[in-house]
Amino acid sequence: MYPILEKRALAEQIWLMKILAPRVARSARPGQFVIVRADERGERIPLTISDYDAAEGSVTLVIQAIGASTRKICALGEGDALADFAGPLGRPSEFVSTPPEELRRKRFLFVAGGVGAAPVYPQVKWLHERGVAADVIVGAKTRGMLIYTEPMRAVAGQLHIATDDGSEGDKGLVTQVLERLVGEQGRRYDECIAIGPMAMMKFVALATKKYGLKTTVSLNTLMVDGTGMCGACRVTVGGRTRFTCVEGPEFDGHEVDFDEAMRRQGMYRNEEQRAAAIEAEREAGHQCKIGLDK
């Protein structure tokens, strides 16, 4: 069992959980993920690591309660425990293996959309600790949906915020901020790393391609079983079939077939809706039984 050391709300239906998992904490690197289960009958859920502390033995996850299984996990509290916590899985971010001297000569631009700010944070933090400059663009629908802005501000060279409604930062999309920085202001970056909704990453990659800016994207939202065996994470990259769970989750954004990836992402929507309906019926029955017992 893996105890929950800390739980707090970051935004509506978005929770931060710090889990006691010493072995994973000692081995984790930016870009990797874990597989968790709420209980012995629970679904395997792949979640990208949002932070880790080897000394404390803790791993931090950010979970959005959008389906039956993630809602079950988010219903747990401090002192409860997860049944399984497997990892770290996937390949670390490419820059982790770059020699320090070469890395410090580079300048990175990160683009995070929504919950994507959580897996971006450990990457920016890791670079900051090694003296590497990284600017960050964080986007969300509204100010209330922004997460990780203060921790990000502490490790980023410059933090730029964009909200759809203009309630904080620039009004508009993250791609508009990117175009201003690179296209209008002529800022030079060696690599862009984008993590967030699939459509956002697609348009970030289209924007950076115009400028010849190397772009890496994380396809973590495609993962289902986390081992590559189910095949749900298949994606075409550079004309080749790749498996996100074992060969990623990060790939060259200019070579990803995003249209195919978005179609694959929607394959299990009906199953998820059915699972949510079953869970709602089960909960309604449970509440009814409580009422009768009274």
pLDDT higher than 70, residue 251: yes
Distant-in-sequence, close-in-space partners of 272: CB < 8 Å, separation ≥ 6 = 67, 68
CATH class of 94-211: alpha beta
- Looking at residue 290, its pLDDT comes to 53
d(CA 188, CA 214): 12
Both structure tokens of 74: 């988010």
Q: Model pTM? A: 0.86
Domain with CATH 2.40.30.10 in the chain: 2-89
Give the integer Cα–Cα distance in Å for 158 and 133. Answer: 9
Largest CA distance in the chain: 69
Q: Exposed, middle or buried by CB within 10 Å (0-12, 13-18, 19+), for 206?
A: middle
Q: Is the pLDDT of residue 279 over 90?
A: no
Specify the pLDDT at position 179. Answer: 96
Residue 230 in marked binding region: yes
Specify whether domain 2-89 bears CATH 2.40.30.10.
yes
Among 22-26, 30-34, 202-206, 268-272, the minimum mean pLDDT is found in 268-272
pLDDT in the model for residue 291: 54
Is the preceding omega at residue 122 within 30 degrees of 0, hence cis?
Answer: no
Contact residues for 90 (Cβ-Cβ < 8 A; gap 6+): 31, 32, 33, 245, 246, 248, 249
pLDDT (tens digit per residue) in 208-217: 999 999 999 9
Using the Cα atoms of residue 139, residue 143, residue 147 and residue 153 in order, give the sign of their dihedral.
positive
Please tell me whether 64 is known to bind a ligand: yes
Task: Fill in the DSSP letter of residue 168.
Answer: S
- Residue with the bigger pLDDT between 234 and 271: it is 234
Gyration radius (Cα) of the chain, Å: 19
**pLDDT higher at 146 or 234:** 146
- With 70 as the cut, is the pLDDT of residue 133 above it? yes
Q: Using CB atoms within 10 Å of the CB of residue 261, give its burial: 0 to 12 exposed, 13 to 18 middle, 19+ buried.
A: buried
Q: Tell me where in the chain the CATH 3.40.50.80 domain(s) lie.
A: 94-211
What pLDDT does 6 receive? 96
Which residue bears the tokens 């049944």?
83
Note whether 107 and 188 are within 8 A (CB).
Answer: yes
Query: What local confidence, expressed as pLDDT, does residue 156 receive?
Result: 95
pLDDT above 90 covers a percentage of the chain that reads 72
Distance CA 76, CA 16 (A): 12
Closest-CA residue to 213 (of 235, 174, 183, 258): 183
- Percent of the chain past pLDDT 70, that is, above it, reads 89
Q: What is the pLDDT of residue 42?
A: 83
pLDDT at 276: 47
CB 118 within 8 A of CB 33: no
Predicted pLDDT of residue 29: 95
Rounded alpha-carbon distances, angstroms, from residue 48 to 64, 187, 196: 12, 30, 12
SS3 9: strand
Is residue 277 over pLDDT 50? no
According to the model, what pLDDT value does residue 62 have?
94
273 marked as part of a ligand binding site: no
Taking only the tens place, the pLDDT of each residue in 138-173 is 999 999 999 999 999 999 999 999 999 999 999 999
pLDDT on residue 275: 47
Annotated binding residue at 233? yes
Q: How many other C-beta atoms can be found within 10 angstroms of the C-beta atom of residue 198?
A: 19
Exposed, middle or buried: residue 263 (CB in 10 Å: 0-12, 13-18, 19+)?
exposed
Question: pLDDT at residue 264 above 90?
Answer: no
